[in-house]
Amino acid sequence: METTALLIFIAVSALATFATRVLPFVALSRHADHPLILHLGRYLPPAVMMILVIYALRDFRPLSEEHLNMTPNGWPVIIASLTVVALHLWRRNALLSIVAGTGLYMLMVQLGPVDVSFTAALAPVFIRGKAGGEKFGYSK
């Protein structure tokens, strides 16, 4: 993709993101105290966070060919997630929870019984679009 097209892509993405942040300020400033707004403002953010967790874990498959699936979309992702939960409940330290969980996951993925085809599919595992990860060029 040439530079101009990429810059247009970035501009569109930036404008769409800014729109979500600025819209309430331009459209609803007069209704800030409406009970429905307060109700949604209170309950929607936690619901969205939880949905994002489910979304991030959606590729989890417990079994592959009747064995425990130890490839990146198998038990490593659950073990790492539970580690994050346990660490965060224990120490309440975002740094520790995120770094330790991610480190553990990387360790399991890189040292574990990794099927090459799964590795190729892993890169965009959380936000993967229709075509999957093959286009990410994890060929090396």
Residue 34 CB, shortest distance to another protein, in Å, is 9
19 vs 63 by CB, closer to another protein: 19
64 vs 123 by CB, closer to another protein: 123
Instruction: Answer yes or no: are the C-beta atoms of 74 and 60 closer than 8 Å.
Output: yes
Residue 113 CB, shortest distance to another protein, in Å, is 14
51 vs 63 by CB, closer to another protein: 51
Residue 39 CB, shortest distance to another protein, in Å, is 5
Whole-angstrom distance, CA of residue 132 vs CA of residue 116: 15
User: Residue 129 has what DSSP assignment?
Assistant: -
